[in-house]
Amino acid sequence: MSTTEIERQWTTRLRKRVAGKLPPEKLLPDTQPSYVSSWIYVFGVTTLSAMIVVIVTGCVLALRGPQWWHGSSFGHFVNSLHLWSVEIFFFAMVVHLWGKFFMGAWRGGRSLTWMTGVITFLASVATAFTGYASQSNFDSQWITTQAKDGINATGAGSFFNVLNLGQMLMWHIVLLPLAAVVLTALHVLLVRIKGVVPPYEENAGEAQ
């Protein structure tokens, strides 16, 4: 096989492209610009950490099936861990979003980073909603019978039946978490590729 042929391979081209866009020092940096020195930056990594705790506690709940936590005190405790990690996740995510808004974090070619963040937020809202719909208790009875009217009114209810426990559970534990995790990974990679947005400068010179 000639060198030219190897250079033309999809695998070779993809590896070079990835290595060019995201060299190891960008993926796992050991320094950061000095302006990154505010508490607001903590909320991105907090969101990510809470997401990991949400997934781990959700996996523990999945081990014994959807009814387990109703009849087991340990199961109920794991459900509490799942609930509170979700609350922390959303709190951190919303603060992170507001922080990034006030920084104008889309500047300098970072609009895709902003957009993946917003879509991750919306996917997370849907994931949490389907979790509430899958609880198989009074809350899920009430929440689904109320929510159906809004979703049905858009036409989406013809395909996304919130009263169908099986459908909601599948969306909650498979489809939406998968989407949220993929979107989060994409978002984090974009942050690493593009870096953290520099501060505004009233007398700025050249564009990046």
Partner 1 sequence: MSTKAFRPDVDAPTYKGGHSPYDIIKEGTIAIVIVSVLTLLLSVVFGSPDDAAITIKTWSNKAPVDFASTALSELNGTSGTAGYGAPYNTASDGQKLGPFPLAKWAGATIPVNSVQDFVIDPLKSLPNQPALQSGLATWTKAPQSTRDTWVANYTKAASNMKFVNGQVIVKASDAGPVPIFINDLTQMARTGALDQALITGNGYYTTDYTKPLLFLADGSYIGNLAQKQHLLGEQWGMMNETGSYPGQAWLWLYTFWYQVPPFSTSLADNADVDVWGMMMLLSVLLLLLPFIPGLRALPRKLKVYRLIWREHYRG
Residues 109-148 that bind partner 1 (CB under 8 A): 109-111, 114-115, 118-119, 122, 125, 128-129, 132, 135-147
Residue of 159, 179, 58 lying closest to 116 (CA atoms): 179
Residue of 119, 122, 143 lying closest to 131 (CA atoms): 143
CA distance 152 to 134: 18
Q: Residues 1, 3, 10, 201: which binds partner 1 (CB under 8 A)?
A: 201
- 162: tokens are 């919130």
Decide: is 189 part of the binding site for partner 1 (CB under 8 A): no
Q: Residues 60, 84, 95, 126: which binds partner 1 (CB under 8 A)?
A: 84
Residue closer to partner 1, measured from CB, 27 or 178:
27
Decide: is 59 part of the binding site for partner 1 (CB under 8 A): no
Decide: is 165 part of the binding site for partner 1 (CB under 8 A): yes
CB 46 to partner 1: min, Å: 6
CB 41 to partner 1: min, Å: 9
Q: Please give the distance of CA 177 from its chain centroid, rounded to a whole number.
A: 8
- Helix (H) or strand (E) segment spanning residue 127: helix 111-133
Q: Are 173 and 58 in contact (CB under 8 A)?
A: yes
CA distance 144 to 162: 6
Q: With contacts defined by CB under 8 A, name the span among 1-9, 14-22, 78-86, 179-187 that binds partner 1.
A: 78-86
Decide: is 83 part of the binding site for partner 1 (CB under 8 A): yes
Residue of 70, 52, 34 lying closest to 181 (CA atoms): 52
Q: Which of positions 7-46 make contact with partner 1 (CB under 8 A)?
A: 28-38, 40, 42, 45-46
